[in-house]
Amino acid sequence: MEVPYTVKNRPDTGLYNAKIGIWLFLASEVMLFGALFSSYILLRVTAQEGEWPTELLNVPIGTVNTIVLILSSVTVVMAWASLKLNNFKKFKLYQGLTVVCALIFVLIKSYEYRDKFTHHDVVLTDGMRVDGHLVEETDEYIILSHPLEYPAEKGIGYRPTAIKLADEEAKAHGDGHHHAEDRKIMLADIEKRTTWGPWANTYFAIYFTLTGLHALHVIGGALVMAYFWGPGSRMWKKNPEQFANRIEVSGLFWHFVDLVWIFLFPILYLL
């Protein structure tokens, strides 16, 4: 005896079991990410004046990632439609593309993370604050490339203004964009030092947590879809309808992952 309505719809609800199951699960995921978004808003609204940074994330890279995920959403629904049209080869193609897009997203995200973890932020004893990429580190000094310098008391929220001022100064000298030279800082002159990780401030804390949890969902979803592309696709021969349902259900999860990113991108990168 098998549990009914795993493949065929139950007449009065019009649903098969896994479909209502996945929507219920997605409802709980809405609450999960919703709680994180609410935390983001609370932390930003209650942050001290000048302590909430903006324009720290690379918008072009984020845009590329957004487009990659949207593309993967299209390919996964095309994969399901291909199955409904009995075209198993097309399904393999689209499902494979989806997994590739997911991998690209994770790779780009890892690059972004590494970029932040190697970005150092020091407060000097003379009250100035310098941040930049770590080029070299010894027992006596560090060298930061593309450094930005501004008074520490202004807070990290001052950075966009500092960049604008530096650009204007560079234009006045006829240089175009400012590209300051590598800056060598003696360790003895450093009062406080951190890297741009979740420990640096609450903006980074919520950024890494939000994108990290999202990335875990991307990886999880990619694993499921890779399984259905590979060994799981054997079910197509035995029970094609149930297999199509599984692709639809896992596709729904994947679309949700895309949905979350559609909100994450403007909130974290643009606002």
Partner 1 sequence: MDSTEAKEHHDAGHGHDHHDPGFMRKYIFSTDHKIIGIQYGLTSLLFMLVGFFLIAVMRWSIAFPGEPLPVIGTILNTFMSGMTSPVLDPNTNELIGYAISNDLYNSFGAMHGTIMVFLAVVPLAFAAFGNYVVPLQIGAIDMAFPRLNMASYHLFLLGGLVMLGSFFIPGGPAQAGWTSYSPLATSIPTDGQLYWLIAMVMIITSSLLGAVNFIATIIQLRAPGMTWMRLPFFCWAQFVTAFLLLLAFPPLEVGALLQLMDRVAGTSFYLPTGLAITSMQDVSGGGSPLLYQHLFWFLGHPEVYVLILPAMGVVSEIIANNTRKPIWGYRSLVYSTLVLGFLSFIVWAHHMYLTGMGTKISTFFQTTTMIISIPSVIILTCLFISLWGGSIRFNTPMLFALAFLPMFGIGGLTGLPLGFNYSDIHLHDTYYVIGHFHYVVAPGTIFALIAGIYFWYPKMTGRYMSEFWGKVHFWCSFVFMNLTFQPMFAQGMAGMLRRMADGGAGYSVANNPDAIGGLADHLVKLNGNITFAAYALGLSQIPFIINLFYSIFKGKKAESDNPWQSTTLEWQTPTPPPHGNFTTPPKVYSGPYEYSVPGSAQDYIPQNQKA
Partner 2 sequence: MSGHGPEEIKKAMKKYLMVFGILIVGTIVTVLASYIHFDSFALTVGLALLIATVKASFVALYFMHLIDERKSIYLVLGFTTFFFAGLMILTIWASGDKPLYSVMP
- Under 8 Å CB-to-CB from 28, ≥6 apart: which residues? none
Tell me: does residue 27 bind partner 2 (CB under 8 A).
Answer: yes
| Distance of closest approach, residue 75 Cβ to partner 1, in angstroms | 27
In this chain, which stretch among 34-42, 113-121, 171-179, 188-196 interacts with partner 2, using CB under 8 A?
A: 34-42
Give the nearer residue to partner 1 in terms of CB position, either 172 or 271.
271
The radius of gyration computed from the CA coordinates of the chain, to the nearest angstrom, equals 24
Residue indicated by tokens 């999860």:
253
Sign of CA dihedral 52, 41, 118, 111: negative
* Burial class, 153, CB count within 10 angstroms (exposed 0-12 / middle 13-18 / buried 19+): exposed
> 85 touches which of partner 1, partner 2, none (CB within 5 to 8 A by kind)?
partner 2
The answer to whether 131 and 147 have CB atoms below 8 angstroms apart is yes
Instruction: Select from 270, 254, 212, 201 the least CA-distant residue to 36.
Output: 212
Give the nearer residue to partner 2 in terms of CB position, either 46 or 138.
46
Tell me: does residue 177 bind partner 2 (CB under 8 A).
Answer: no
The answer to whether 10 and 19 have CB atoms below 8 angstroms apart is no
φ/ψ of 47, rounded to 5, equals -70, 150
| Distance of closest approach, residue 65 Cβ to partner 2, in angstroms | 10
Q: What is the dihedral of CA 156, 162, 167, 171, to 10 degrees?
A: -170
Binding residues (CB under 8 A) for partner 1: these are: 1, 3-5, 10, 13, 15, 17-18, 20-21, 24-25, 27-29, 31-32, 34-36, 38-39, 42-43, 46-48, 51, 194, 197-202, 205-206, 208-209, 213
Among 6, 38, 161, 239, binds partner 2 (CB under 8 A): 38
The answer to whether 76 and 94 have CB atoms below 8 angstroms apart is yes
Give the nearer residue to partner 2 in terms of CB position, either 30 or 106.
30
x-marked contacts with partner 2 along 212-251 as a string, rule CB under 8 A: ---------------------------------------x
Tell me: does residue 68 bind partner 2 (CB under 8 A).
Answer: no
φ/ψ of 119, rounded to 5, equals -95, 120
Report the interface residues with partner 2, using CB under 8 A.
9, 13-15, 20, 23-24, 27, 30-31, 34-35, 37-38, 41-42, 45-46, 59, 63, 66-67, 70-71, 73-74, 77-78, 81, 84-85, 251-252, 255-256, 258-259, 262-263, 265-267, 270-271
